[in-house]
């Protein structure tokens, strides 16, 4: 998955959508491009209409902040597991 919208160059987020060609954009960016520009993917020029846009599912990421190693201070890059309060399997601790 690409991390940026090819139109505005901002990070993709929960408002991002995917086209049939699998390129990803913010919903507002691609709708404006199609409505005021041309009915095609700005990256590969595949034909697209607003009805062809699909909501992109971005899985929630682990909320843990790393405490050691080269990535100290950064957030964990693994997907949060279902029913783990927003943490991946490595960082989820059952409170007794």
Are 6 and 45 in contact by the 8 Å Cβ rule? The answer is no
Residue-level pLDDT at 31? 92
Question: Domain ranges in the chain?
Answer: 1-58, 59-96
Residue-level pLDDT at 87? 87
Residue-level pLDDT at 85? 81
pLDDT digit string, tens, across residues 39-62: 999 999 999 988 888 765 566 778
Provide the CATH topology of domain 1-58: Herpes Virus-1 (3.30.40)
H or E element in which residue 32 lies: helix 27-36
């Amino acid at each position: 998955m690409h991390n940026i919208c090819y139109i505005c160059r901002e990070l993709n987020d929960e408002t991002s959508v995917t086209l049939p060609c699998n390129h990803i954009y913010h919903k507002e960016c691609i709708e404006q491009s199609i409505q005021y520009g041309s009915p095609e993917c700005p990256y590969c020029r595949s034909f697209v209409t607003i009805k062809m846009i699909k909501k992109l599912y971005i899985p929630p990421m682990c909320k843990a902040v790393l405490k050691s190693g080269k990535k100290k201070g950064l957030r964990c890059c693994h997907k949060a597991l279902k029913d783990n309060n927003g943490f991946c399997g490595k960082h989820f601790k059952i409170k007794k």
